[in-house]
């Protein structure tokens, strides 16, 4: 019997990024990809955030993150804010540390009661760290394009890892492209051995950037927190924007600071609660 059968969950969202939060601390074994897909068929989500028993002293939980296709993600900033809100409301805490596949994440109450700040850690720029399939000495731009060689539709993205691989294409209008068609082509391009999140970004001014993202393993999404972080970092590396910026996504806005003293990226934004429920055991009857 699946540990998720008849288990409580919370449906939430982070500026439109659809999130399901499940607390499985004390349960045996991780959620299997087929179980994550079964959940998505019942409660549609972009990411499933599963709290597991902490592995390190001083951490609240180990967070395992699933995309709606059952694949695991290394990071999900919007999902983390949803988890933080649930923990803060349950415990009364105002600061907490979680462990993820991407490392330790420190989280705390934001400047307003409905805002939460996540320290997403330091970005990675090395081609083997992102990872890319071939060497690029400078990942501020990489040689990648889609469309005719002499008139590419998109070209020369910045590549960054924020726990997940990201490719950011700089455009004049983020709504001027069929990202639903181009996104999966680029996500699965051979240059990305672990696939990639694909973002279209427009620098409005040095303090404001607008983006749209095709999320690896999830598809078109109203918001992607790690993509907002990756975009802010990439823009600062290119001297196009300041190290503290506002990122506008289809679902809302995030404040991103690429902190100078340690290069950590801080993301601040809201987390909205929608409803609670329990998983019908029948969902997992045919899950191997």
Q: Which residues are catalytic?
A: 76, 224
Q: Are 107 and 95 in contact (CB under 8 A)?
A: yes
Tell me whether the omega of the peptide bond preceding residue 13 falls within 30 degrees of 0, making it cis.
no
Q: Collect all residues with Cβ–Cβ distance below 8 Å to 243 and sequence separation of at least 6.
A: 232, 236, 257, 258, 259, 260
Sign of CA dihedral 216, 203, 102, 25: negative
Beta-carbon contacts of 190 under 8 Å, excluding residues fewer than 6 positions away, are: 133
| 3-class secondary-structure state, position 189 | coil
* Measured torsion, CA atoms of residues 157, 246, 106, 23, in degrees rounded to the nearest 10: -90
Upper half-sphere CA count for residue 248 (Cβ side, 13 Å):
11
Pairing between β-strand 244-249 and β-strand 219-221 as defined by DSSP bridges: unpaired
Cα separation values, 239 from 136, 232, 265, Å: 20, 11, 17
DSSP string, 229-250: HHHHHHHHHTTSS-SEEEEEET
Task: Tell me the HSE value of 182 on the side-chain side, using a 13 A CA sphere.
Answer: 20
Do 64 and 50 touch, CB atoms closer than 8 A? yes
């Amino acid at each position: 019997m699946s540990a998720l059968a008849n288990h409580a969950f919370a449906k939430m969202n982070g500026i439109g990024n659809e999130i399901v939060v499940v607390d499985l601390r004390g349960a045996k074994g991780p959620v299997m990809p087929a179980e994550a897909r079964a959940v998505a068929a019942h409660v549609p989500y972009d990411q499933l955030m599963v709290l597991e028993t902490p592995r390190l002293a001083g951490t609240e939980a180990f967070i395992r993150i699933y995309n709606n296709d059952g694949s695991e993600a290394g990071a999900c900033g919007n999902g983390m804010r949803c988890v933080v809100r649930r923990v803060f409301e349950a415990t009364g805490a105002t600061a907490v540390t979680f462990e993820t596949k991407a490392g330790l994440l420190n989280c705390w109450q934001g400047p307003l009661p409905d805002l939460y700040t996540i320290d997403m850690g330091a970005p990675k720029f090395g081609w083997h760290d992102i990872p890319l399939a071939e060497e690029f000495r400078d990942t501020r731009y990489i040689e990648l394009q889609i469309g005719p060689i002499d008139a590419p539709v998109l070209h020369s993205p910045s590549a960054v890892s924020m726990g997940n691989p990201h490719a950011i294409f700089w455009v004049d209008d983020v709504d001027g492209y069929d990202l639903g068609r181009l996104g999966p082509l680029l996500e699965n391009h051979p240059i990305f051995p672990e696939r990639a999140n694909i973002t279209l970004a427009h620098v409005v001014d040095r303090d404001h950037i607008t983006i749209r993202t095709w999320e690896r393993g999830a598809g078109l999404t109203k918001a992607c927190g790690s993509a907002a972080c990756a975009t802010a970092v990439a823009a600062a590396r290119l001297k196009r924007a300041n190290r503290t910026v506002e990122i506008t996504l289809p679902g809302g806005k995030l404040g991103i600071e690429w902190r100078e003293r340690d290069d950590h990226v801080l993301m601040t934004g809201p987390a909205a609660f929608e409803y609670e429920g329990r998983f019908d055991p029948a969902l997992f009857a045919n899950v191997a």
